[in-house]
């Protein structure tokens, strides 16, 4: 899968084509491989994901060096209001019920574990050059503010909109222009009818993915791709009733720990592909071969 993403992306970059990026894996696994040719050929990578489109919109017109901090917003997922002690009893049916919208099972589980957002932290690092100390996550249950940036003078700029992918995709495809949309095409956001917009800090105990992802991001190289691949495999096993919900975090942690001795800081395409496949295979070994929701080995 990673090869099929990275190889055509780099070929397009070498042909001088700007990239409208609609997936996380290209930069999370392949950032060290994709960004050097993008810089060499002066190709722009334009994000279509809602959070990164929001950041991209907020930084338009900012002078170089004006960005101080990136603030990624997260809905908090299916368990944002659950006490931590209840998470051991989570069923697949619980995890795939998003409080704000209907999505596929994998991304809905990622929203519940916060892996969707912490992977975006890594993506933000590669897209905007921000250090991990200057990328934060806040829980925003209403999902109206899609992300924010803080400038050097402490101003905070935000992009607001309905939780829908149409606008980010439209902006990515039309940038640097903005295309007129009628209210029939895209209903306006009536701030007076929204009521309150609220925020809270994510709970590190409820979301162990935060510590795992920030550590992987700071390690860099192949570690971020291993994190992503291990999470993908762990979520697949959870959805298939092969491991429990909390085991998702343990599978990712054990896989990343195992990879530390072999991590490559400036990987080739072949090394990225190799460790992506390795992480999936290793993650799959971290379960018993029989029984539903077994404990980890």
What are the pLDDT tens digits along the chain (297 aa)?
Answer: 798 999 999 999 999 999 999 999 999 999 999 999 999 999 999 999 999 999 999 999 999 999 999 999 999 999 999 999 999 999 999 999 887 767 789 999 999 999 999 999 999 999 999 999 999 999 999 999 999 999 999 999 999 999 888 999 999 999 999 999 988 888 889 889 888 999 999 999 999 999 999 999 999 999 999 999 999 999 999 999 999 999 999 999 999 999 999 999 999 999 999 999 999 999 999 975 433 444 444
For 67-135, the DSSP string reads: EEEEEEEE---TTTTS-GGGGGG--HHHHT--SS----HHHHHHHHHTHHHHHHHHHHHHHH---GGGE
0.85 surpassed by pTM? yes
Segment holding 159, helix H or strand E: strand 156-160
The confidence score (pLDDT) of residue 295 equals 44
Which is it for strands 156-160 and 145-151: parallel, antiparallel or unpaired?
Answer: antiparallel
Task: Please give the radius of gyration of the chain, using alpha carbons only, rounded to the nearest integer.
Answer: 19
Cβ neighbours of residue 79 under 8 Å, at least 6 residues apart?
Answer: 86, 87, 90, 94, 95, 112, 206
The confidence score (pLDDT) of residue 273 equals 96
Q: How far apart are CA 52 and CA 50, in angstroms?
A: 6
């Amino acid at each position: 899968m990673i090869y099929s993403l990275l190889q055509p992306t780099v070929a397009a970059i070498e042909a001088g084509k700007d990239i409208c990026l609609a997936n996380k894996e290209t930069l999370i696994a392949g950032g060290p491989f994709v960004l050097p040719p993008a810089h060499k050929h002066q190709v722009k990578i334009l994000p279509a994901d809602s959070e990164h489109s929001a950041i991209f919109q907020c930084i338009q017109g900012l002078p170089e060096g004006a960005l101080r901090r990136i603030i990624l917003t997260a809905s908090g997922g299916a368990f944002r209001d659950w006490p931590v002690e209840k998470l051991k009893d989570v069923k697949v049916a619980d995890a795939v019920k998003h409080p704000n919208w209907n999505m596929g099972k994998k991304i809905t589980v990622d929203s519940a574990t916060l892996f969707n957002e912490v992977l975006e932290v890594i993506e933000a690092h590669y897209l905007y050059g921000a250090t991990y100390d200057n990328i934060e996550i806040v829980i925003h249950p209403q999902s109206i503010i899609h992300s924010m940036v803080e400038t050097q003078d402490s101003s905070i700029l935000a992009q607001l909109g309905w939780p829908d992918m149409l606008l980010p995709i439209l902006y990515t495809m039309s940038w640097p222009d903005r295309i007129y949309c009628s209210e029939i095409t895209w209903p306006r956001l009536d701030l007076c009818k929204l009521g309150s917009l609220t925020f809270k800090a994510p709970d590190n105990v409820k979301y162990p993915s935060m510590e795992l992802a920030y550590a992987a991001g700071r390690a860099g190289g192949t570690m971020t791709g291993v994190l992503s691949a291990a999470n993908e495999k762990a979520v697949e096993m959870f959805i298939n009733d092969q491991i429990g919900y909390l085991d998702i975090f343990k599978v990712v942690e054990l896989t990343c720990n195992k990879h530390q001795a072999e991590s490559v800081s400036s990987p080739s395409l072949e090394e990225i592909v190799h460790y992506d496949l390795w992480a999936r295979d290793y993650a799959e070994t971290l379960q018993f071969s029989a029984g539903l929701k077994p404990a980890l080995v």
